Amino acid sequence: MSGAFWALAVLAVASGVAVFVVDSMARATFALLVSLLAVGGTLLLIDLHYVGVLVILMMVMEMLVMVVFMIMYMMNPGGLMPMTMVHDNRTAVLIAGGVFVLLAAGVFVTPWPPARGRPPADPTHALGLAIMEGKMLVMIVIGVAILATMISAVVLATHRGRYDR
């Protein structure tokens, strides 16, 4: 498991860096997808199956939505025209380096409490209880209601569809 974890970690970081290095929107989208799928795979490795599958499904759907908007609104729908994904590179590097130094210093300066107890038998259930407590059923119902609202909004917004003229 340790080897798979480190492989996914390196893949997530490398493809995350590739988002800002590649020269097209399509390649950046695929690099972001690979990075987030590697994070989902990492969650699966640490036995957070529900959260891992949720992250993977959400990222795939997010990338599909991104592709739809890319095709609709970009001058180059294929996204393969060379472009830069970073603007004002020097300032961005300075800010990112400063934030990294502050966060790294925080890791070493913070008095971390000692670990107590043992990991739960079902980490996904424990995470759900920690986040939602007793409101899990309510959030599931609200999620279905939001999905129904989004589908209804799309149906109502398109009277005859794309080719109504």
The CA distances from residue 20 to 9, 83, 100, 121, 151, in Å, are: 18, 11, 17, 40, 34
List, as one string, the DSSP characters of 119-134.
Answer: --S-HHHHHHHHHHTT
What pLDDT sits at residue 106? 95
Which pTM value belongs to this model?
0.57
* Greater pLDDT, 64 or 3: 3
Q: Are 4 and 23 in contact (CB under 8 A)?
A: no
Q: How confident is the model at residue 15 (pLDDT cuts 50, 70, 90)?
A: very high
* Residue range 111-148, pLDDT digits in tens: 989 888 888 888 888 887 888 777 777 878 888 998 89
Q: What pLDDT was estimated at residue 100?
A: 96
pLDDT in tens, 25-63: 778 888 999 999 999 999 999 888 888 898 898 888 888
Angle at 35 (CA atoms; ends 104, 8), nearest 5 degrees = 80
**pLDDT tens string 66-91:** 877 776 777 665 666 676 656 788 99
- Burial environment of residue 128 by CB neighbours within 10 A (0 to 12, 13 to 18, 19 or more): middle
pLDDT score recorded for residue 91 = 92
